[in-house]
Amino acid sequence: MALDAAFKHSSSGVQVYVERPGYGDKSVDGSHIKVHYEGWLAKDYKMFDSSRTKRRPFEFDLGKGSVITGWDEALKGVREGTKLQIIVPAKLAYGRQGVSSMGIPPNADLIFKIEVIKIT
């Protein structure tokens, strides 16, 4: 993971570190995005999900509420090929409810490594 000082902090609390910038047009609300990702609990770095383990990229429409708010915010303005790490505070992830079936406890801050594969 990147050192904390390398992350850019948004006013909402999402922290973003771009490992590799992408190319082409930037994503906007309504863009269809295909990514590979890994997700960890920030507290103990326990992985709770990975599209790579499933061997299938994850696809969603940006800004439509189909992903956690932290993803909608962090992935706005990215380009194809971008690799980034994000730290999402609980309030912009799964909040007080968590997701017990995935091992995400209530009020858990999350870390993701995301590679943007395709934007349409």
Question: Which residues have a catalytic role annotated?
Answer: 37, 48-49, 68, 94, 112
Nearest-angstrom CA–CA distance, 62 and 120: 10
**DSSP-assigned beta bridge partners for residue 37:** 114
